[in-house]
Structure 1
Amino acid sequence: MTQTLKEIWTHLHHNAEISWEEYNTTQYIVEQLKSYNPQKIQTFDDMPGAVIEIGSGKPVVGIRADIDALWQEVNGQEQANHSCGHDAHMTTVIGVFQKLAETDLNGTVRFIFQPAEEKGNGALAMVDKGVADDLDYLFGMHLRPVQELNSGEFAPAIKHGSAKFIKGTIKSADTHGARPHLGVNAIEVASDIIHHMRHTHVDPMIPHSMKMTELHAGGKNTNIIPGKAHFAIDLRAQTNEMMDQLSQQVERIAEHLASYHDIKIDLETGAHMAAAVYNEEATALLAEGIQTIDPDSKRNPITTTGGDDFHFYTLKRPNVKATMLAIGCDLAPGLHHPDMTFNFDAIPKAVDILTATIKQTLAQGDDA
């Protein structure tokens, strides 16, 4: 029995799985779509995720949904949670599949259900699997918070910024609480890192931020000064050039403090998402799709400091023409907030917009 979009979303929302563990999610998606007898269903032995195709020949138009959830505390309990909106993205792409599966297609539509967007390396894994090698166009989508779009508004591009996540370790020896002069307090070194980042001055006209988002030091004995600490830094920049500046500054800060305190500070980049570079043709096609469904809902492309690994598809395969649909849906208090909510009524319209866009894209490919 075919489920409604709301039933699909409800199941996905209540059965969230974190990055690289989305095996049940993958199985559920495949079960939902295999009854339509698609031309291709591809899953992987070494990772979750699925690629499902309908139609045949050129052009090849892709549509991508990220399928992972975040791990965070919700009402006092640590759990996987779709405060990222990926449950809505999966629901939207499944809805597009259901509509297009009943249509005669002049080309191939590839539905990409990608794991680990929140880790920043899921798209790269899919590229390595060859998913984007022969793509002509690729469309994505993302729910937008109330600060960016009102409910029922849609934009044909999301100009994401760059994001980089750096893991660090401060390495020194523990000392007795009564003899602080014999060692280096790793907590104080971490505080120095924060101080220097807050006093980093770069072009204020380009949105950016640097902040420590994780710090672990010390143990069960409060009379020990910890010499070792683990920390994480979240960098954001609207341009790739600004991200290079921020990254170099973090490296300089670590080198300076390591030398000053005569200790070791090791840095490792956990993930790096590049700033978006959008294709004008794909953006125009998506704008036309919005115009076709509801002209009054169309807004200009939006700029956000958030990041998305979607852009690795085009960075690694520059021949792919790509853009993302921005979905206004009363999302509040904000993305990644444990209590995030949104207006589900925006999802059926997003399905209609993306369906119309893909049909128009296939028709254009036919004319070319």
Structure 2
Amino acid sequence: MKGEYSMELLEIFEKLHSIPEISWEEKNTTEYIEAFLKEHDIYVERFTDHTGLIAEVGSGKPVVGIRADINALFQELNGKMQANHSCGHDAHMTIAIGVLLNLKRIETSLQGTVRCLFQPAEEQGNGSLSVVKTGFVDDMDYLFGVHLRPKDELEIGKAAPSLRHGAAIFYKGKIIGDDAHGARPQCTVNAIDIGMALNSYINQLSLSPMLPHSIKMTRFSAGSKNPNIIPGSAEFSLDLRAQTNHGLTSLKELAQKKLDSIETLYGVKIEGSWIDYTPGAEVSREAEEILSAAIREIRGEENLAEPITTPGSDDFHFYTIERTNLKAAMLALGADLTPGLHHPSMTFDQSCLLHGVDILTDAVKRALNQ
């Protein structure tokens, strides 16, 4: 039975892997999940305003949730820009479906409801907020997420009871000025000079060395095809990260002051906006303890790893910020993933799929009995 079950998971994974779709466009993915779960007599309901859906097994209280992100990235693969599952979301969906199949077999014995959120647009950092607005999170007591981990962080077979992501935000800006002839530099302020100054200034920003954080320019574009024109305008982007939400707020305030001072110093206008804020982790101790117990039960004490702190971000943590009564934690799953997350040729050991299903199935049952 276990071999047959493993084959079923692999077939689900291969199908999901073959239909990658970018944020807010996960139409085929939503349709496949809906059709598959209906075939197995599992209740599903689509979100009305966007892609994605929920699926439920059991009834009544408490309500225990699972979050599975369903979008892919858009990146160059084999010389072509295309949607590509290089962050493990195809695996996360497969694991969530496997948990639902497990629980459907014992549905009559469940004391409560298990609800899976198949959430769109995680990579844009705001898909979870749209799901919160649907109301499907309001009555949840617990929520568990899952994410595959790189080989150098967590080896296959091991798992950690929480992922402590950092907070991130981005600034998309434009320097606004007038172009000038290359022979008349006195007629304008070179936007490239402004960009170089801005880059130098932000590289000097820092918080306490006890708090992991970073700020860097990730895009700068100025000038035209004509080499004899001094560009007065340019577009740029900044990437800010900190391990805590408070730290990110402080870093953002410092960066905004530098932007304001650049305007004054060079006498130019800088227009822009802060976008795609993703909060740092707000981990529930109760949810983390449940995942720890499940890992011990399924994989043994020797495969229980310490909670993982990572500078990466995930919009999973909006759920606990928006619904403060919700107890949540994200399972970190060893997968021998290489070369790394978001690498276009990312691969992993697919035996982790069964590990994830079994651990989350055990965790959900424990949460129902709290």
Aligned partner (choices 266, 270, 275) of residue 280 of structure 2: 275
Distance 1:30 1:225 in 2: 55
Runs of 4+ in 1 over 4 A off after TM superposition: none
Which moves more between the two structures, 346-355 or 97-106? 97-106
Aligned partner (choices 161, 178, 183) of residue 166 of structure 2: 161
1:267, CA displacement in angstroms?
Answer: 2.5
Q: Which residue of 1 aligns with 2:34?
A: 30
1:234, CA displacement in angstroms?
Answer: 1.3
Deviations 1:290-339 (A, max 9, x none): 11101121111111111111011110001111000001111122211222
Identity of aligned residues (%): 50
Distance 1:250 1:228 in 2: 20
Q: Indicate if the aligned counterparts of 2:166 and 2:280 stay in contact, CA closer than 8 A.
A: yes
Aligned partner (choices 249, 252, 255) of residue 254 of structure 2: 249
1:82, CA displacement in angstroms?
Answer: 1.4
When the two structures are superposed, what TM-score results if normalisation uses the length of structure 1? 0.95
Q: Which residue of 2 aligns with 1:7?
A: 11
Distance 2:138 2:206 in 1: 41
Q: Which residue of 1 aligns with 2:154?
A: 149
Query: Secondary structure, in 3 states, of the residue corresponding to 1:68?
Result: coil
2:268 is the alignment partner of 1:263: yes
Aligned partner (choices 315, 319, 324) of residue 318 of structure 1: 324
Aligned partner (choices 347, 355, 359) of residue 349 of structure 1: 355
Which moves more between the two structures, 217-226 or 14-23? 217-226
Q: Give the counterpart letter for 1:150 in structure 2.
A: E
2:66 is the alignment partner of 1:63: yes
Q: Which residue of 1 aligns with 2:49?
A: 46
Q: Which residue of 2 aligns with 1:80?
A: 83
Q: Which residue of 2 aligns with 1:240?
A: 245
Q: Which residue of 2 aligns with 1:225?
A: 230
2:95 is the alignment partner of 1:89: no
Q: Give the counterpart letter for 1:285 in structure 2.
A: I
Deviations 1:175-226 (A, max 9, x none): 2222222112222322222211111132111111111222232233232222
Aligned partner (choices 339, 343, 348) of residue 337 of structure 1: 343
Aligned partner (choices 308, 311, 324) of residue 314 of structure 2: 308
Which moves more between the two structures, 42-51 or 346-355? 42-51
1:44, CA displacement in angstroms?
Answer: 2.6
Q: Indicate if the aligned counterparts of 2:158 and 2:299 stay in contact, CA closer than 8 A.
A: no
Q: Which residue of 1 aligns with 2:122?
A: 117
Distance 1:55 1:352 in 2: 18
Distance 1:257 1:218 in 2: 20
1:171, CA displacement in angstroms?
Answer: 0.9
Distance 1:121 1:94 in 2: 23
Alignment of 1:178-193 (within 5 A): 178-193=183-198
User: Cα 1:286–1:188, aligned 2, differ >3 Å: closer, same or farther?
Assistant: same
Unpaired segments ≥5 residues, structure 2:
none
Query: Secondary structure, in 3 states, of the residue corresponding to 2:331?
Result: strand
Query: Secondary structure, in 3 states, of the residue corresponding to 1:101?
Result: helix
Unpaired segments ≥5 residues, structure 1:
none
2:137 is the alignment partner of 1:132: yes
Distance 1:218 1:5 in 2: 52
Q: Give the counterpart letter for 1:142 in structure 2.
A: H
Deviations 1:115-159 (A, max 9, x none): 011111100000011121000000001111123212221000011
Residue correspondences, number: 362
2:175 is the alignment partner of 1:170: yes
Query: Secondary structure, in 3 states, of the residue corresponding to 2:124?
Result: coil
Aligned partner (choices 13, 20, 24) of residue 20 of structure 1: 24
1:14, CA displacement in angstroms?
Answer: 2.3
Distance 1:21 1:326 in 2: 27
Query: Secondary structure, in 3 states, of the residue corresponding to 2:173?
Result: strand
Distance 1:11 1:93 in 2: 15
Q: Give the counterpart letter for 2:246 in structure 1.
A: E
Distance 2:115 2:44 in 1: 10
